[in-house]
């Protein structure tokens, strides 16, 4: 569910639908947003004045953003059920699991607050980045809980643990570099009216070169981690969870660089990077 919400957020960005619902938690003052301009409230112009992307009602943008919010609400319900279940089952025999579950509930509530801040700030780039990083935290917590509930872990020695942590840190640095590039793309695409995609990459500064070059270091570390851990059969599933997303991330990155920023590549690139972080985190949690 977390990955689905991340993907939906990427689609919102891909379609420039971030202000499709210009108020929060409602949408144009309604719990079910309009599908046509004739359904807008009488004072709808006060909402449109806050928009930075589309200064007229666009049902397409509105419903993409609204579906993103609905998926976030469903995730919140799942996490609420999970927290209640954890309190009932683990409050005596495994308090760490219970506290992690409660922390996840607090984190998803904070994520909802950040969502409101993003809308109120008209998609301020720093708040959008914070929104993404909290989503990764929420995705990591269930994996931590799963690791706490597992009895068997792999005793692979200190060197493999060090390599796995080093690779995870490198990927997180790469994501931070990527958020800087993404923020530049936001400004550049806006200046071109979200057209002329073939010109966007050429307007990026040195951070894009660093981000692009650093990706090969990340790929090399992932391959090295795979080679070093091949002999442990119980880690095979994690090899797929690492090599598949890093491959997709590189392919989509190359396509954005050389095929004029195809829109579909953006959410897939974001999802693959998120999956890679979680694959590496889960790999590390499997080691003693």
One domain for residues 160 and 284 = yes
Decide if pLDDT at 243 tops 90: yes
Give me the pLDDT at residue 128, please.
66
The reported pLDDT for the residue numbered 125 is 57
Percent of the chain, pLDDT > 90? 39
- Do residues 137 and 180 share a domain? no
Spatial separation of the C-alpha atoms in residues 204 and 188, rounded to whole Å: 8
How far is the first Cα of the chain from the last one, in angstroms, to the nearest whole number? 28
Residue that terminates a domain, selected from 124, 149, 174 = 149
- Same structural domain, 223 and 262: yes
pLDDT of residue 240: 92
| Of 149, 183, 210, the domain-final residue | 149
Q: Are residues 227 and 156 in the same domain?
A: yes
Least confident of 9-18, 59-68, 194-203: 9-18
Residue of 127 and 280 predicted with greater confidence: 280
Task: Tell me, yes or no, whether 67 and 205 share the same domain.
Answer: no
Given the structure tokens 């309604």, which residue do they identify? 30
In DSSP terms, 154 is beta-bridged to 287
Residue 37 gets which letter from DSSP? G
Residues 140 and 156 placed together within one structural domain of the fold: no
Domain count, the chain: 2
Nearest to 135 by CA among 279, 245, 25, 274: 274
Distance CA 173, CA 106 (A): 25
Residue 164 exposure: Cα atoms within 13 Å on the Cβ side: 24
Res 27: pLDDT: 84
Both 174 and 282 in a single domain? yes
Domain identity same for 202 and 218: yes
Task: Report the chain's mean pLDDT, rounded to a whole number.
Answer: 86
Q: Which two tokens stand for residue 17?
A: 């639908």
Same domain membership, residue 3 and residue 141: yes
In this structure, what token pair is assigned to residue 202?
């050429």
> Is pLDDT above 70 for 47?
no
pLDDT per residue as tens digits for the range 96-118: 999 999 999 999 888 878 777 76
Same-domain pairing of 68 and 159: no
145 and 156 co-located in one domain: no
**Domain end residue (candidates: 100, 131, 149):** 149
The alpha carbon of 281 is separated from its chain's Cα centroid by a whole number of angstroms, namely: 15
The encoded tokens of residue 251 equal 């392919």
Judge contact between 211 and 181, C-beta under 8 A: yes
φ and ψ at residue 31, rounded to 5 degrees: -80, -30
Residue 39 pLDDT: 81
Confidence of residue 51 (pLDDT cuts 50, 70, 90): low
Q: For tokens 């800087």, what's the residue?
A: 180
CA distances from 128 to 28, 105, 166, 250 (A): 21, 20, 26, 23
The reply to whether 40 and 181 lie within a common domain is: no
61, 20 in Cβ contact below 8 A? yes
- Domain of residue 270 covers 152-288
Q: Quote the pTM value.
A: 0.81
């Amino acid at each position: 569910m977390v990955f689905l919400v991340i993907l939906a957020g990427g689609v919102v960005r891909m379609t420039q639908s971030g202000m499709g619902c210009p108020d929060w938690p409602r949408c144009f003052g309604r719990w079910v947003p309009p599908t046509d301009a004739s359904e807008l409230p009488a004072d709808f112009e006060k909402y449109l004045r806050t928009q930075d992307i589309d200064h007229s009602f666009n049902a397409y943008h509105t419903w993409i953003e609204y579906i993103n919010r609905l998926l976030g609400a469903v995730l919140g319900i799942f996490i609420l059920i999970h927290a209640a279940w954890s309190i009932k089952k683990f409050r005596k025999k495994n308090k760490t699991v219970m506290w992690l579950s409660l922390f996840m509930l607090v984190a998803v509530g904070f994520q909802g607050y950040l969502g409101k801040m993003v809308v109120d700030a008209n998609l301020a780039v720093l708040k959008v980045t914070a929104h993404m990083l909290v989503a990764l935290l929420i995705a990591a917590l269930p994996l931590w809980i799963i690791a706490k509930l597992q009895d068997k872990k792999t005793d692979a020695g200190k060197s493999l643990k060090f390599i796995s942590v080093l690779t995870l840190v490198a990927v997180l640095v790469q994501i931070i570099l990527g958020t800087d590039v993404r923020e530049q793309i936001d400004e550049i695409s806006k200046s071109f009216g979200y057209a002329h995609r073939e010109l966007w990459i050429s307007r990026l500064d040195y951070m894009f070169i660093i981000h692009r070059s650093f990706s090969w270091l990340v790929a090399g570390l992932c391959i090295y981690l795979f080679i070093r851990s091949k002999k442990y059969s119980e880690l095979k599933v994690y090899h797929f969870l690492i090599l598949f997303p890093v491959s997709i991330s590189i392919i989509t990155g190359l396509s954005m660089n050389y095929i004029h920023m195809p829109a579909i590549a953006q959410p897939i690139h974001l999802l693959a990077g998120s999956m890679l972080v979680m694959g590496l985190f889960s790999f590390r949690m499997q080691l003693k």
